[in-house]
Amino acid sequence: MSWVKQVGWRHLVGITAVLFSLFPIVFVVSAALNPLGTLSSSELLPTGFTLRNFVDLFAEHAFVNWYGNSLLIAGLASAAAIFISMLAAYAFSRMRFRGRRVGLLSLLMIQMFPQFLAVVTIYLMFTTITDLWPAVGFNTAWGLILLYLGGALGVNTWLMKGFFDTVPKELDESATMDGASHAQAFFRIILPLVTPIIAVTGLLVFIATINEFLLANVFLTDTEAKTLSVGLYGLLGGESRNTNFGIFCAGSLLTAIPTVLVFQFLQRYIVSGLTAGSVKG
């Protein structure tokens, strides 16, 4: 009884949390492998096994285009957001200039309002942009990337600035005494030390971008230009919600692959950065 009171209840809570987390995953896998492929016939534990839902997903829908669009938009938006945010964070952290405090407070206040509140204004702006410059207008990856950058730079800049503040300024001063410019000090000395926050920020931006639905659903209307979230949502529209549920679950499982791969790739940078310097050579 003493083991149950001291340790056993913790195991019980942990097992309960794991089962609760695995429930939706198991259900989605079961529905994706369901031979009938309908919502009404889906069960928690699969009663059959078939890959027909995956075959129909590629054969009857533009899933390959949706997948490519999502990877392109999420990858470029993440890279651009990281690069611009870390430059802005370095400037706000290391330099003192007029408007610095106002700029930081402005970024913080802007983040208090969801980007979707401005969807009407953004829609009208992009209507004009589409007429003048169609390459960055509606139904284009470049237009959606610019839209995502406007909502991600503020929070990423604040997140990175807090990490830059923990890096000793003596490193910058030492590099300056050796004749290095601000750019050289940043890329050669500071950047390797802030790898963990860059990896975390990149992961967060990638996950948020590849899973974003509201803005993408407004600005992407052509079937070939849709992202995964918008395209899969269209499978459940109208009377096809029941019949296409298995195909929808199959697409959901494939959608999770890029996020898992990005997490596995960035995990080593996060761990190596956090443990760097903890053991003397």
The total domain count for the chain is 1
Distances (CA, A) of 12 to 2, 16, 18, 20, 23: 15, 6, 10, 12, 17
pTM, entire model: 0.84
Residue 245: its H or E element: helix 245-275
Distances (CA, A) of 255 to 106, 152, 199, 227, 251: 35, 22, 21, 10, 6
Contact criterion met (CB below 8 Å) for 161 and 92: yes
Say if 170 falls within a structural domain: yes
Counting DSSP H helices and E strands in the chain, the numbers are 14, 0
Say if 44 falls within a structural domain: no
The DSSP symbol for 36 reads: S
Report the CATH number that the domain containing residue 208 is assigned in CATH: 1.10.3720.10
d(CA 244, CA 41): 12
Distances (CA, A) of 281 to 88, 190, 276, 277, 278: 34, 21, 11, 9, 10
**pLDDT tens-digit profile, the chain (281 residues):** 676 667 777 778 888 888 888 888 888 888 888 888 777 777 777 777 888 889 988 988 889 999 999 999 999 999 998 998 888 888 888 888 888 888 888 887 877 777 777 888 888 888 898 888 888 888 888 988 988 887 777 788 888 888 888 888 888 888 888 888 878 888 888 888 888 888 888 888 899 899 888 889 888 888 888 999 999 888 887 667 777 888 889 999 999 999 999 988 888 777 665 555 444 43
Say if 9 falls within a structural domain: no
Say if 145 falls within a structural domain: yes
Contact criterion met (CB below 8 Å) for 139 and 222: yes
d(CA 34, CA 26): 12
Structural domain that includes position 81 = 62-234
